[in-house]
Amino acid sequence: MSQQINLFNPVFMKRRKYFSLLAMLQALTLIVVGSSICYGYAVYQIGQMNSQAEQSIKRYNAERARLERYAAELSPQQANRLLQDEVQRLEKQVAEQSEVIETLKSGVAGNTTGYSEYMRAFSRQVV
């Protein structure tokens, strides 16, 4: 009977080096390129956010100015002053009308009875 001799020994196989200098340089290059891309994208996003922040600040200031203008226009003091001005105008108008009525009643402007006496006299003559 013949015997087989096994000449295969895994210890003598050529092994691949996973942490060789070339593999480490490639991995480092890949990490640097990836980090640079992420950094560039982050800078781009920050620029976009800064422009949005500036626009938001401008809109905020415009709305704040508009609110202050509306508050000044519609404030209770402003409305109260407008009402007082209206009341004074109406009181002046009433005083003027009362003066006109008193003048007409006093007869200074002429005959206060009107033409009714003349018309009655005229109606008696025509018959």
Work out the mean pLDDT of the chain and round it to a whole number: 85
**pLDDT bracket for residue 121 (50, 70, 90):** confident
> Do 72 and 78 contact (CB within 8 A), yes or no?
yes
Q: What does the pLDDT read at residue 1? A: 61
pLDDT above 90 (res 127): no
The 10s digit of each residue's pLDDT in 20-37 is 888 899 999 999 999 999
Q: What are the two backbone dihedrals, phi and then psi, of residue 43, each rounded to the nearest 5 degrees?
A: -65, -40
Contacts of 17 (CB under 8 A, 6+ apart): 23
Helix extents (H) in 1-127: 21-73, 76-106, 116-126
Q: Whole-angstrom Cα distance, residue 8 to residue 106?
A: 145
The 10s digit of each residue's pLDDT in 38-65 is 999 999 999 999 999 999 999 999 999 9
Which residue is associated with the tokens 């200074």? 108
Q: What does the pLDDT read at residue 17? A: 73
Q: Whole-angstrom Cα distance, residue 71 to residue 78?
A: 9
**Predicted structure pTM score:** 0.44
